[in-house]
């Protein structure tokens, strides 16, 4: 993963230039697991950070997320994003009822 000028992160296997919310979510989770603040100055550039980038993929009408900005939301991407938005570190453990 590499941080882009757009403040986002991307997976080299997917694209060399575009950001995507799946990579943003994974980076946020990894940073939180390493006890880093993904919104801190360390992880922010002039365009923002992974937290600010990830929400740019959300469809205002449905609330879903698209892998490619401006396209229709899809279930896989939408399912990947919440753990990042909630800043849930790895591993994401199932909720235990008391």
Residue 90 pLDDT level (bands cut at 50, 70, 90): confident
Least confident range from 21-35, 43-57, 84-98: namely 84-98
Residue 25 contacts residue 86 (beta carbons within 8 Å): no
Q: How far, in Å, are 8, 9, 11, 40, 88 from residue 65 at the CA level?
A: 15, 16, 17, 24, 18
Q: Is residue 97 part of a domain?
A: no
Q: Is residue 91 part of a domain?
A: no
Average pLDDT of 45-61? Answer: 93
Domain extent at residue 57 = 2-85
Could you give the percent of the chain with pLDDT greater than 90? Answer: 58
Q: What is the pLDDT of residues 38-51, one digit of tens each?
A: 999 999 988 889 99
Quote the number of domains for the chain.
1
Tokens of residue 83, six digits:
């753990």
CA separation for the pair 46, 32 (Å, rounded)? 21
DSSP per-residue letters across 50-95: HHHHHGGGB-TTT--B-SSTTSPP-HHHHHHHHHHHTTPPSS-PPP
Q: What is the pTM of this model?
A: 0.77
Asked if the structure places residue 94 within a domain, the reply is no
């Amino acid at each position: 993963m590499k941080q882009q000028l757009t403040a986002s992160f991307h997976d080299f296997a997917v694209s060399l230039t575009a950001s995507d919310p799946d990579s943003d979510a994974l980076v946020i989770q990894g940073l939180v697991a390493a006890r880093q603040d993904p919104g801190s100055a360390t992880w922010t550039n002039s365009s923002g950070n992974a937290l600010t980038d990830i929400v740019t993929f959300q469809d205002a009408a449905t609330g879903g997320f698209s892998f490619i900005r401006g396209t229709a939301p899809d279930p896989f991407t939408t399912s990947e994003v919440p753990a990042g938005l909630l800043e849930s570190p790895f591993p994401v453990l199932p909720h235990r009822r008391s």
